[in-house]
Amino acid sequence: MVQNGDRDFAATELPLIIQEIVDDLQPLLTPYEAAFYWYAFRHSIARNGNPHVRLSGKALRRGLVKSSYSTALDNSISEGKVRDVFRALEVIGAIRKEGEPNRDGTLYGVLIPDEIESCRKFRAERSASAPKTEVAATDIDYYNVRENCVKVYERDGYKCRYCEKQLTRFTATLDHVKAVASTATTASTTL
């Protein structure tokens, strides 16, 4: 995990992050907690890749969750319930208070399941209880296993072996984006 919000997310990683939220975090949350987390995620990582967002209890009380059981004009949840949900999300590790409150709200860091200890435990328990199936060694493509790709990236220091461009865990791919051979062929045919 990168400390102090020095991480940044690419749009191409969002589908995997959303899948991990649904599979690993959502089962650990109550409906209110899930609604608050998705709101924070939507207004931080999903909006601009930045994991930080200012959350205001007052705004969340008014607009985020409406009770279907009440017909009152002021159909918001209580201030105490908002505080309880924030506290629960902090205990789970889904959000982390990063700053002091001001009139725009409190600065929170929104964490993804890979960074949340309870999600990692839940994932490990789920995979341990999953039935094991035998797969022939020839049926597994080494480079389609996420952990193997990470090993390759780390071996290369997150640098492209062809063009030496510095990459991140979000921009790294196993293949050079523009083939070197086709670039050389194009350059030689234009001379």
Enumerate the H helices of 102-145 as residue ranges: 117-129
Of 167, 162, 155, 189, residue with least CA distance to 178: 162
Q: What is the pLDDT along the chain (191 residues), one digit of tens a residue?
A: 334 444 666 667 888 889 999 999 999 999 889 988 998 998 888 888 889 999 887 777 666 655 455 555 555 677 788 889 889 999 999 999 998 888 888 999 999 998 999 988 988 888 888 776 665 555 667 667 777 777 887 788 878 887 888 777 667 777 776 655 554 444 444 44
Q: Which domains does the chain have, with CATH numbers?
A: 11-129 (1.10.10.10), 137-189 (no CATH)
- What pTM was estimated for this model as a whole? 0.62
